[in-house]
Amino acid sequence: MKQEFIRVGRIVNAHGIRGEVRVQPRRVSPALLTRCKTFYIDGQPVAPTANHVHKELVLLKLPGVDDMNAALTYKNKDLFLRRADIVLPEGEYFDDELLGLEVYDCDTGALLGTLTAVDEYPASKVYTVKGEREILIPAVKDAFIRSVDLDGGRMEVKVWEGL
């Protein structure tokens, strides 16, 4: 479903004594976060003055945060991005945008249910669709996922025998 803001991480702690904060990315690559110019914390825009990846975390230097005590005031705060500010490659979506989509069989047009969860596995993500029964669908484009229409709230999937 179209969302204005996407939660992309959480500030988990301060880093060092100069006021940097450690951000644990949430289902996005750390590199994506380093390309973003404006984040939203508690609904307020914040433009980091510096950022870089450190051991799967992103270190941000926030304006006006110059020591460890100031950085600690941000601990456990969620980090959001405005969806309109991010351009993902064609056919890629944030997991949160997919939650709530109605999922249909592309061959029969039958409603299978609603996408309720996205789980990460080594081979691919897996979508949980709840309807009359629960279905797990590998998030493999073209093999299983045929189309996604966020504006229409609809996903079409190929149902293989035994799925």
| Contacts of 144 by beta carbon, 8 Å cutoff, 6+ apart | 137, 138, 157, 158, 160
Q: Is residue 162 part of a domain?
A: no
Residue 138, in any domain of the structure: yes
- Domain assignment present for 141: yes
Residues of the chain above pLDDT 90, percent: 79
Residue-range definition of the domain harbouring residue 127: 95-157
Strands 5-15 and 78-82: antiparallel
Asked if 32 and 72 sit in the same domain, the reply is: yes
133 HSE (CA, 13 A, CB side):
4
Read off the pLDDT band of 162 (50, 70, 90): low
- Confidence bin at 1 (pLDDT 50/70/90): low
Q: b/e string for 41-52 if b means 16 or more Cβ within 10 A?
A: eeeeebebeebe
Tokens describing residue 115: 């996408």
**pLDDT higher than threshold 70 for residue 163:** no
Residue 132 domain-assigned (yes or no): yes
Task: Please give the single-letter amino acid code of residue 134.
Answer: E
Measured CA to CA, the distance from residue 41 to residue 23 in angstroms comes to 12
In tens, the pLDDT along 17-35 reads 999 999 999 988 899 899 9
Find the angle CA(82)-CA(80)-CA(141) to the nearest 5 degrees: 75
Same domain, 114 and 78: no
Q: Are residues 102 and 78 in the same domain?
A: no
Q: Is residue 67 part of a domain?
A: yes
Residue 69 is encoded by which pair of tokens? Answer: 């005590």
| Strand ranges inside the chain, DSSP E | 5-15, 20-25, 39-41, 44-46, 50-54, 57-61, 78-82, 102-105, 111-120, 125-130, 134-138, 145-149, 154-157
Q: What is the three-class DSSP state of 149?
A: strand
pTM: 0.81
Model confidence at 149, in pLDDT bands (50, 70, 90)?
A: very high
Judged against a pLDDT cut of 90, whether residue 88 lies above it is answered with no
101, 152 contact by CB (below 8 A): no
Q: pLDDT for 104-114, tens place per residue?
A: 999 999 999 99
* Residue 40 within any structural domain of the chain: yes
CATH code for position 107: 2.30.30.240
For residues 108-135, average pLDDT:
94
